[in-house]
Amino acid sequence: MDWEAIGVSIRLALATTAILLVIAVPLAAWLAFTRRRWAVVVEAVVALPLVLPPTVLGYYVLVALGTSSPFGRWWQETTGSTLAFSFAGLLVASVIYSMPFAVQPLLAAFAGVDRRLLEASAVLGRSRVHALARIVLPLSRAGLASAAVLTFAHTVGEFGVVLMVGGNIPGETRTVSVAVYDAVQAFDYETAGRTSLALLAFSLVVLTATYAIQRHGVGLLVRR
């Protein structure tokens, strides 16, 4: 069993989830509460990874991360290393690829919060950021949990983007899905089977635990 690949997958999924929640909360809040017409365009862009084949997305990310793009060059000048075929590059691709899985549950949850409460917050002299932290997020716990679980699960399961952007460097960009693919290509069905089973079991445990908390343990999360 390729423990190294499992480690990479889990690290990648955790980091992606953490980064995405930081990005997706303000983004979803803006989308939920803005009155700007072009918000639909932003929404469409966020949803793009749902319809684009991973190879297409991977291709664009690869080009954007490469040293021929301004961003790739800036990264190389600042850090001294390239983004393509590195864990950092894989993380960037992963964040983009899983964006809709974080934004959409949050957007749905935020949109479900009674506008009247936000108006009450405003007339009580509080800023929107304060209302987001004190009112919207606490009332959107289920949406937050869904966003985190879906992002995590989706990242663990991604394959095409990883192959395009990360390549297959053990301990760096070689994730479980790629490891399984390699094993099958090498007719090593035994390793492929064991790694797959481990991934399956792990995913099932994580999902079950999360749904259990959502369904029965909300009391654990409620303040006092």
User: For binding to other proteins (CB under 8 A), which residues are involved?
Assistant: 114, 116-117, 119-127, 134-135, 138-139, 222-223
Nearer to other proteins, 52 or 139 (CB): 139
Give the nearer residue to other proteins in terms of CB position, either 145 or 162.
Answer: 145
Q: At what angle do helices 141-156 and 3-33 cross, to 10 degrees?
A: 140
CB 145, min distance to other proteins, A: 15
Task: Note whether 178 and 163 are within 8 A (CB).
Answer: yes
User: CA 116 to CA 143: how far, in whole Å?
Assistant: 20
Q: Which is nearer to other proteins, 40 or 221 (CB)?
A: 221
Least distance from other proteins to the Cβ atom of residue 114, Å: 7
- Dist CA 68 CA 71 (whole Å): 9
DSSP result, 24-64: HHHHHHHHHH---TTHHHHHHHHHHHHHS-HHHHHHHHHHH
- Among 138, 141, 103, smallest CA distance to 23 is for 103
Of residues 119 and 190, the one with the C-beta less far from other proteins: 119
State the nearest-atom distance from the C-beta of 188 to other proteins, in Å: 53
For the CB of residue 127, give the shortest distance to other proteins in the complex, in Å.
Answer: 7
For the bound state, the minimum distance from the C-beta of residue 113 to other proteins, rounded and expressed in Å, comes to 10
**Helix, strand, coil abundance in the chain, percent, nearest 5:** 80, 0, 20
Write down the least CB distance from residue 129 to other proteins, Å. 11
> Scanning the structure block, which residue is given the tokens 């009247």?
116
| Residue (36 or 134) nearer to other proteins, CB | 134
- Decide: residue 223, CB within 10 A, 0-12 exposed, 13-18 middle, 19+ buried: exposed
- Closer to other proteins by Cβ: residue 126 or 194: 126
